[in-house]
């Protein structure tokens, strides 16, 4: 995200905080002053990536990491963030701010800290649109039990003091035909209603931007890296309401796609409303509810919208039916994802072939290499943009898990250090996400050893056969077993769901040691497989493929449950030079050779078609069988 | 448990139900009649095994499985139980009863069923002593939201109609000296108080029988298989209250052990009270609480006791500090467990050597074999009794996971069928639990194949190296990978915590695909490792060792976290005849040979010392290295 990063000099916040505290005391905005104000990270849709107009926590503090919560009282301005961002936050914030290092034993929770500093009977304010319903509940309960109250403020106080706050983006919408989506939005609505009927639900409130984009087969560009647009939707058995900046619907293609002028059936008539009117419309819907009516809303939706629904009618769910349906890709989407991954592999083969020539000249840096990768990707058909900011790290920078090269940290790629690049793109037919770790000179025995353990973990997941209905978190330890055996590990999950020309991170499945409420893996789901190893101050290793869940056919079929395994969609060679092949079993060597054969066949044909001779030579050399 | 099983003829319950319904309408017991009465399985301590006087659900229904909840209304008598017991429950209950098969899609939950049958504003009664606080909460919430109420009835209505209900057992207490416990009860109290101070807790209420036995270094015999006694304890910073049938404390050894007449320090003075007075004493304690005082109680403790503590003072915890401390065995306990397992192995070597001779005569049955195993165990020093009812299953009976041989199901051991025996004992120095699967003729290729996959899973867990702080559920898939690869699986967890001369099942750790809130594994914890495979109607395979968590020393030590692995305490040969050794890797073969070498050395020496020549010959033959 172009976070207006001002490098490492802190933002001067004294005057802003003075103004904010004035607003906290100002009864223009509410009946009584508030003693503390909470500024969470997110937007009203609980998006992982957010638009500039929603970067309120960054605006007030200067800290632009992806996770963090600010709390401002009359005396204090305090920031909670996690270990990834301790250094960055302390460099970006001036001394008006106190950093709370989450995960350390002595660090109090936000609730405990508030209770320790607040005068009796305090009012703590928060914008109910950007706090999720479940977080509101926890915070409100803790404050109440100590005699305070959490107060929903309709006016966002950061916006009050943010004079030059950017406009909410409203980029042009893109319609996706059946050749990309495989299912019309009509059929998606019908399937949603069938699920609602089955569970006796009368209304469904959609708040997640990727779910709304998926449902209507539309894409936007409101948030960088994520092809989504700001919208809400409320779906009933005979009604579809779409809340979106109405001028976006004036384009004939969009109008026609949504059949706004001539719905095919009355129950497929989309009523359109301004984005901002979702609150009052939901109130109107709820006013007409009978006591038995149930309304589905995600338990991570905003507190503001959730609380519109009377508690007795509210049926909160951890994952919406759209989230679940979206996760299982249909044949058209799978084909699109395959094509996107072949194009992406072409770009990376070009990149790596180019790097081999350029690195000896010492002219390539982490930043320029990331730019070159984007340039090669942009030459591919239907390229839209990157799917996330490229992680491009040389030597010690590779060991910083969420590293993004900045001018101050930028290192030159050399023959002496390990290079890690984690990158991906949005194409109209699919989304990619791939990590490769390479050495352009001679890796050390320790680097090779660690790389090989990571590879063994990657293969153990990728080649695993497991029963239908298995949750992804049960596979996480397979990725770690080889590292554990040597006393090593990595402190992140092993995989995440991947959207199809949608968000590169999506629920409800994943592969992690954290036993969050993931849904069982199903054929058609797409996840990443990305174990790693990070030697602080020295090098980082990660091997990431995007893999498709497919049916497996082992010898037996216990209780007719059926079995699943993974098929790699990513087809980029894994550097053999980094492997200590003696540490691999015969089955692992076979896996590497099979994988490389497939890379050569499939990507080689496309390189040939595109006339990319140099990259083809590189591919052929890098996919020689190992013995 | 001697459940007075009347074989497979149903209990006649018409008259009992008539009397119970009369009691439900009888305002002698409460202000207004109740429309439904819930009869859970447990006792007031939420014990897994219960005493005859607490078998109320069995008394009213005839169904004596270990899990089940009965609900009686004016019109209905309904039993919920799970798949293990569908057949048994339907055979043991007469046609006054309706069986609700839990786990089937069409089966309503207890709450939903009650709501569907109850007249408006109904009162549902339950004995608050035998429903856990967390279950009460769920049920009460569901009923309230439908306009009904859950009512705590001080008089248990089953006891009202149960004329010849057995007395609550009050067997003699046994004191355990430091040579068995390693830590005095004084030091356990001091450690508990240190934890309380650390978390600012003023009182702790102990309700689990094994925790109380462990805390005071006492054992009882009130519940079969579990060396516990009925008691409660309330511990404050200067006070220890023990609630127990007072006549048990008249024995001089017990008096002296607890220093009832001459406490060494005032804060180690144990005040004793009758078992029944815990409620009023806890009320007295709570009446004196200041608003800031916090009382620890397990969230699985009875609703009755939990609700005595004012909500603002209550601090419910999933595992008590006693549960956590008890799980980590000290050096003395570990030595005791090792000795107990050697004695247990001697008994099993005798059994298997004896079986080899006897089976060809066709005189050994599942029941007689279980009895013989008990006989051999009873010859060992400090034998107290079995640690659970022996599972002894031939051929298809072995495929019933919780099978216990009954006269009607009893099969003869032959040369043609697989035999599974899962058994264990209580010795004063430790508790055992071991499963072996054997064939006394020639196993089929499929039986060997399945056995070998189970063995691979057993070894994968037993030999796993993993970081300190890893939770057991992250190891579960290691036990299944080989089965999964061939499309097979088993539908139970892989391991449970094991007490030291205490309950054979204990928290807070285990190895399971169910992601319950298990605590991280630590050196000194003891769990079972017991994957299996069950071919319905044909055979069952399970291989179970009790294993000790020990420090491992791999090559590296990432972030100084340290590593752990397992050391088998069970030392009984695994039948080589059942293995397809070609399916084993070299490392797995090495593991088998190392394990068998240790069995031969350690158990062989003891067999020699005990002069058990025949068993020694068997051991030596069964521990020949495989190649």
The pLDDT tens digits of the residues spanning A536-594 come to 999 999 999 999 999 999 999 999 999 999 999 999 999 999 999 999 999 999 999 99
Interface of B with A (CB under 8 A): 145, 312, 464-467, 473-478, 480-481, 484-489, 513, 515, 554-559, 561, 563
DSSP β-ladder status, A418-423 and A391-394: antiparallel
CB atoms B474 and A555 under 8 Å? no
The predicted-structure confidence for A314-361, as pLDDT tens digits, reads as follows 999 999 999 999 999 999 999 999 999 999 999 999 999 999 999 999
E-only strand ranges, B433-578: 434-439, 466-467, 495-497, 506-511, 526-529, 532-535, 539-542, 545-552, 563-568
Nearest to B515 among A478, A484, A515 (CB): A515
Tokens 């060991």 correspond to what residue?
Answer: A399
Chain A's closest residue to B553, CA to CA, is: A487
**CA dihedral sign, ordered B24, B28, B29, B30:** positive
How many Å apart are CA B576 and CA A132, to the nearest integer?
A: 58
Chain A CB contacts of B554 under 8 Å are 484-487
Helix (H, G, I), strand (E, B) or coil at B536: coil
Show the tokens assigned to B367.
Answer: 């029941």
Chain A CB contacts of B488 under 8 Å are 556, 558
The predicted-structure confidence for B170-218, as pLDDT tens digits, reads as follows 999 999 999 999 999 999 999 999 999 999 999 999 999 999 999 999 9
The predicted-structure confidence for A387-421, as pLDDT tens digits, reads as follows 999 999 999 999 998 899 999 999 999 999 999 99
pLDDT at B26: 85
Q: How far B393 CA lies from chain A's nearest CA (Å)?
A: 21
Q: What is the mean pLDDT of chain B?
A: 95
Residue to mutate among A106, A489, A519, A583, with most B CBs inside 10 A, is: A489
Q: How far A602 CA lies from chain B's nearest CA (Å)?
A: 27
Nearest to A489 among B480, B486, B558 (CB): B558
Q: How far B517 CA lies from chain A's nearest CA (Å)?
A: 10
Nearest to B555 among A145, A476, A487 (CB): A487
Tokens 């002593």 correspond to what residue?
Answer: B129
Nearest to A486 among B478, B488, B555 (CB): B555
CB atoms A563 and B474 under 8 Å? no
Q: Is the pLDDT of residue A104 over 50?
A: yes
Chain B's closest residue to A518, CA to CA, is: B515
| Nearest CA among A327, A514, A521, A352 for reference residue A423 | A352
Tokens 């959490």 correspond to what residue?
Answer: A150
pLDDT at B4: 40
Chain A CB contacts of B557 under 8 Å are 487
Tokens 């009377």 correspond to what residue?
Answer: A310
pLDDT at B3: 37
Tokens 């973990």 correspond to what residue?
Answer: A457
The predicted-structure confidence for B59-75, as pLDDT tens digits, reads as follows 999 999 989 999 999 99
Please measure the distance between the N-terminal and C-terminal CA atoms of chain B and give it in whole angstroms. Answer: 44
The predicted-structure confidence for A416-471, as pLDDT tens digits, reads as follows 999 999 999 999 999 999 999 999 999 999 999 999 999 999 999 999 999 999 99
Q: Is the pLDDT of residue A6 over 60?
A: no
Q: How far A589 CA lies from chain B's nearest CA (Å)?
A: 16
Nearest to B474 among A477, A488, A561 (CB): A477
Mean pLDDT of B429-457: 98
CB atoms A484 and B465 under 8 Å? yes
CA A575 to centroid of chain Cα atoms: 27
* In contact, B540 and B491? CB cutoff 8 Å: no
Phi/psi for A289 (5° steps) reads -75, 145
pLDDT at B566: 98
| Nearest CA among A57, A82, A55 for reference residue A72 | A57
Angle between helix A133-145 and A110-117 (nearest 10): 30
Please, which pLDDT band fits residue B31 given cuts at 50, 70 and 90? confident
CB atoms A487 and B513 under 8 Å? no
Chain A CB contacts of B481 under 8 Å are 464, 478
CB atoms B477 and A481 under 8 Å? no
**Residues in Cβ contact with B91 at an 8 Å cutoff, skipping those fewer than 6 apart:** B8, B9, B10
CB atoms B475 and A475 under 8 Å? no
Beta bridge partners, A559, equal none
Q: Pick the range with the lowest mean pLDDT from A103-107, B335-339, B413-417.
A: A103-107
pLDDT at A61: 97
CB atoms A488 and B558 under 8 Å? yes
Chain B CB contacts of A558 under 8 Å are 487-489
Q: How far A312 CA lies from chain B's nearest CA (Å)?
A: 8
Interface of A with B (CB under 8 A): 145, 312, 464-467, 473-478, 480-481, 484-489, 513, 515, 554-559, 561, 563
CB atoms B464 and A484 under 8 Å? yes
Helix (H, G, I), strand (E, B) or coil at B24: helix
ipTM value:
0.93
Chain A's closest residue to B586, CA to CA, is: A585
Please, which pLDDT band fits residue A514 given cuts at 50, 70 and 90? confident
Whole-model pTM?
A: 0.94
Q: How far A556 CA lies from chain B's nearest CA (Å)?
A: 5
Please measure the distance between the N-terminal and C-terminal CA atoms of chain A and give it in whole angstroms. Answer: 44
The predicted-structure confidence for B278-294, as pLDDT tens digits, reads as follows 999 999 999 999 988 99
How many Å apart are CA A599 and CA A610, to the nearest integer?
A: 16
How many Å apart are CA A97 and CA A113, to the nearest integer?
A: 15
Mean pLDDT of B218-235: 98
Helix (H, G, I), strand (E, B) or coil at A124: strand
* In contact, B320 and B150? CB cutoff 8 Å: no
Mean pLDDT of B477-481: 98
**CA dihedral sign, ordered A332, A334, A340, A345:** negative
Q: Is the pLDDT of residue B27 over 80?
A: no
Helix (H, G, I), strand (E, B) or coil at A175: strand
pLDDT at A305: 97
Helix (H, G, I), strand (E, B) or coil at B530: coil
Nearest to A477 among B312, B475, B558 (CB): B475
Q: Is the pLDDT of residue B1 over 50?
A: no
Mean pLDDT of A211-238: 98
Chain A CB contacts of B487 under 8 Å are 465, 467, 554-558, 563
Q: State percent of chain B over pLDDT 70.
A: 98
* In contact, A467 and A563? CB cutoff 8 Å: yes
Chain B's closest residue to A460, CA to CA, is: B481
CB atoms A558 and B488 under 8 Å? yes
Chain B CB contacts of A465 under 8 Å are 484-485, 487
Chain A, chain B: beta-carbon pairs less than 8 Å apart? 73
| Nearest CA among B165, B138, B161, B159 for reference residue B150 | B138
Q: Is the pLDDT of residue B5 over 80?
A: no
CB atoms B486 and A145 under 8 Å? no
Q: How far B107 CA lies from chain A's nearest CA (Å)?
A: 15
Q: How far A299 CA lies from chain B's nearest CA (Å)?
A: 19
CB atoms B481 and A464 under 8 Å? yes
Q: Which residues of B411-434 are buried (b: 16+ CB within 10 A; e: fewer)?
A: bebbeebbbbbbbbbbbbbbbbbb
How many Å apart are CA A410 and CA A395, to the nearest integer?
A: 11
pLDDT at A31: 80
* Torsional class of B577: left (φ above 0), alpha (ψ -120 to 50), beta (otherwise): alpha
Q: ∠ at Cα A352 (A349, A355), nearest 5°?
A: 150
**CA dihedral sign, ordered A250, A256, A258, A261:** positive
Catalogue the long-range contacts made by A91-95 (C-beta closer than 8 Å, 24 or more residues apart): A91/A8, A91/A10, A92/A6, A92/A8, A92/A10, A92/A11, A92/A61, A92/A62, A92/A63, A92/A64, A93/A10, A93/A11, A93/A13, A93/A61, A93/A62, A93/A63, A94/A10, A94/A11, A94/A12, A94/A13, A94/A14, A94/A62, A95/A10
The predicted-structure confidence for B109-161, as pLDDT tens digits, reads as follows 999 999 999 999 999 999 999 999 999 999 999 999 889 999 999 899 999 99
Q: How far B578 CA lies from chain A's nearest CA (Å)?
A: 19
Chain B's closest residue to A513, CA to CA, is: B474
What would you report as the CA-atom Rg of chain A, rounded to the nearest whole angstrom?
25
CB atoms A558 and B145 under 8 Å? no
**Residues in Cβ contact with B113 at an 8 Å cutoff, skipping those fewer than 6 apart:** B71, B78, B100
CA B405 to centroid of chain Cα atoms: 19
Q: How far A362 CA lies from chain B's nearest CA (Å)?
A: 33
């Amino acid at each position: 995200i172009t976070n207006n990063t001002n490098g490492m000099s802190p933002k001067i916040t004294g005057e802003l905080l003075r103004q904010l505290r004035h607003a906290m005391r100002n009864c223009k905005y509410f009946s009584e002053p508030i003693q503390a104000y909470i500024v969470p990270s997110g937007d009203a849709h609980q998006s992982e990536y957010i638009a500039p107009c929603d970067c309120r926590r960054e605006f007030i503090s200067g800290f632009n990491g992806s996770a963090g919560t600010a709390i401002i009282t009359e005396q204090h301005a305090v920031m909670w963030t996690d270990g990834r961002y301790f250094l960055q936050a302390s460099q970006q914030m001036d001394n008006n701010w106190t950093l709370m290092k989450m995960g350390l034993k002595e660090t109090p929770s936000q609730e405990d800290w508030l209770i320790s500093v607040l005068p009796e009977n305090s009012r703590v304010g928060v914008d109910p649109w950007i706090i999720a319903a479940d977080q509101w509940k926890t915070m409100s309960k803790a404050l109440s039990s100590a005699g305070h109250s959490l107060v929903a403020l309709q006016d966002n106080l950061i916006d009050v003091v943010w004079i030059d706050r950017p406009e909410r983006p409203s980029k042009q919408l893109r319609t996706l035909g059946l050749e990309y989506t495989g299912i019309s939005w009509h059929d998606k609505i019908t399937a949603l209603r069938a699920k609602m009927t089955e569970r006796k639900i009368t209304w469904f409130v959609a708040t997640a931007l990727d779910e709304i984009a998926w449902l209507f087969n539309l894409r936007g560009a409101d948030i960088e890296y994520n092809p989504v647009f700001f919208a809400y939707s409320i779906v009933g058995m005979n009604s579809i309401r779409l809340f979106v900046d109405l001028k976006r619907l004036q384009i004939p293609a969009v109008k026609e796609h949504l059949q706004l002028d001539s719905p095919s059936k009355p129950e497929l008539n989309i009523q359109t409303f301004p984005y901002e009117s979702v609150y009052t419309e939901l109130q109107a819907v709820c006013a007409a509810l009978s006591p038995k009516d149930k309304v589905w809303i995600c338990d991570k939706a905003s507190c503001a919208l959730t609380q519109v629904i009377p508690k007795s009618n509210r049926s909160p769910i951890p994952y919406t039916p759209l989230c679940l349906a979206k996760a299982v890709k249909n044949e058209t989407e799978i084909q699109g994802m395959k094509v996107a991954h072949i194009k992406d592999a072409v770009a990376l083969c070009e990149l790596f072939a180019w790097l081999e020539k350029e690195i000896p000249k010492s002219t390539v840096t982490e930043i320029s290499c990331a730019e070159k990768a984007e340039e090669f990707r942009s030459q591919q058909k239907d390229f839209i943009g990157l799917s996330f900011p490229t992680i491009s790290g040389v030597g010690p920078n590779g060991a910083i898990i969420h590293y993004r090269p900045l001018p101050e940290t930028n290192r030159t790629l050399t023959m002496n250090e390990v290079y890690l690049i984690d990158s991906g793109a949005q194409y109209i037919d699919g989304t990619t996400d791939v990590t490769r770790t390479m050495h352009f000179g001679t890796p050390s025995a320790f680097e090779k050893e660690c790389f090989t353990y990571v590879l063994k973990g990657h293969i153990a997941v990728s080649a695993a056969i497991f029963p239908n209905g298995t949750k992804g978190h049960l596979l996480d330890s397979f990725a770690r077993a080889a590292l554990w055996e040597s006393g090593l590990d990595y402190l992140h999950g092993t995989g995440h769901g991947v959207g199809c020309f949608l968000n590169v991170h999506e629920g409800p499945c994943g592969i992690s040691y954290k036993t969050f409420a993931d849904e069982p893996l199903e054929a058609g789901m797409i996840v990443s497989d990305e174990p790693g190893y990070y030697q602080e101050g020295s090098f980082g290793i990660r091997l990431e493929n995007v893999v498709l869940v497919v049916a497996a056919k082992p010898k037996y079929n216990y209780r007719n449950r059926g079995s699943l395994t993974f098929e790699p969609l990513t087809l980029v060679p894994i550097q053999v030079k980094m492997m200590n092949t003696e540490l691999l079993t015969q089955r692992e060597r076979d896996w590497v050779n099979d994988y490389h054969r497939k890379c050569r066949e499939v990507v080689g044909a496309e390189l040939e078609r595109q006339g990319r001779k140099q990259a083809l030579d590189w591919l052929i050399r890098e996919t020689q069988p190992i013995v």
